[in-house]
Amino acid sequence: MATIVYVGCYTTPDRSGRGEGISAYRMDPDSGDWQSLGIVARVANPSYLALHPQQSFLYCVHGGEMSAVSGFAIDGDSQLRQLGTWSSGGVNPVHLDFDATARWMVVANYTGGTIATMPVHSDGHLGSLSDLVKFAGRGGPDPVQQGSPHPHDIPFDPSAAFVAVPDKGLDRVFVFRFDSDDGRFKPASPPFVTAAPGAGPRHIAFHPTQHWAYVVNELNSTISVYGFERGGNGMAPLQTVSSLPDDVDVRNTGSEILVHPSGRFVYVSNRGHDSVGIFAINTADGRLRPLAWRATGGKTPRAMALDPTGRFLYAANQASDSIVAFRVDKTSGRLEPTGQAVATGSPSSVVFLSRVDS
C-alpha cells in the first residue's frame, strides 16, 4: 500500500495563518516518517479536509469568514486538480462528512450556526444545497464563546444512519437521522442531549463496534461518554472525566478526540497543556480510565490523526507550525515519539489516502 498524507492549514492573517494551502507527503509504512511532495493546492484556509469514500476526490472547507467548500480530483498518486468551489450554506464551515452511499456531503458551519447537505455527483462536483438547518436556542454562560449557536462537527455514526452535531455555543449535542434518498436531516427522538453549562461540546468520536460515543468539551476540558442507540433513541450520558491530569492548573481548551481502530483507547488533544491525553476504554460499559498524558512537542494541538493501521498518531501543533509523529503501542495505548517533526505553517487537518501500488 502507498499512503499519501494531505495536510490543510490556515493561511490568512485574520486566522494567524502561516500556511500556504494543502500540502502532500508520502508516508513510510515502517517508520511513519513523511517525505514532502510539496504544495498541491494554494487555496485560502483549507482548515478541514475529507476524502471521498471512493478516494478519488478530496474536499476542504474554507475556514474564517468564507462560506465555501472546494473539491479536487486526485491525479496520479497525489496531485490535486481543483474541480470547483460551492456554497457551504453558512459562514466559517469547520467540518464535513459523507453518507454511506457517497452521494451526499454534510457540512457544519460554525459562525453561521447551520448544517447543510449537498449532492456529490459522480465526477466529484457538488450540487445545490438539498437541506439547510439553522440552529437556535439559548447560549451557554460564556458570553464570548457561547453568544450564538456554533455547530463544530458533523460526523456520521458507524451505522451511517445518523449524524451527530456537537454545538459549542448551545451546550448540546444534536442527533439527526439522515435520509439518503433526498439528502435531508430529520431530528432524532430526542433531538439532542444537553452538556454541562459552559462545557462547549466540540468534537465527537464513535466506538467502531459498540454503542458508545465520546465528546471532547472544549471550554471546560472534559470528555463526556454517551451511550448511543442506533435505533433512534438518542444519546444517554454515562460519564464525564477531565481531559487533563488532576494536578494541572493551566488555561486549556479541548480540541480533537479519536477512538483507536482497536476500540480500546481514546485520545484527546489539549491546547494549553499541549498534550495528548490517553484513556483506556472499559470494554464492558464504554467508560474511560486515564492512562497517561504525552506532550505534543509543540503548541496548540488543534488536530490529531491516526494513520489507517493505527500504528502512528500525528499531533498538528497549530501555533508552533509543526506536526509531531508518535508510535502507538497497541497493547498499552501509550505514545512514543518517533523523532520526526514536520515543519508546516498553522496545520489544522490531516488525512490519509491509501492505494495499492500499481
pLDDT, tens digit (0-9, with 9 covering 90-100), for 62-115: 999 999 999 999 998 899 999 999 999 999 999 999 999 999 999 999 999 999
Question: Which residues does the chain have with pLDDT short of 50?
Answer: 358
Half-sphere exposure of 13 (CA within 13 A, CB side): 0
Cβ–Cβ < 8 Å for 102, 52: yes
What pLDDT is attached to residue 77? 86
What pLDDT is attached to residue 358? 43
What pLDDT is attached to residue 2? 82
Burial class of 10 by CB neighbour count within 10 A (0 to 12, 13 to 18, 19+): buried
Q: What is the largest CA-CA distance in the chain?
A: 56
pTM over 0.85: yes
Q: Which residue has the cell 460564556?
A: 142
Distance from the Cα of residue 50 to its chain's centroid? 9
Considering the domain 50-355, what is its CATH architecture?
7 Propeller (2.130)
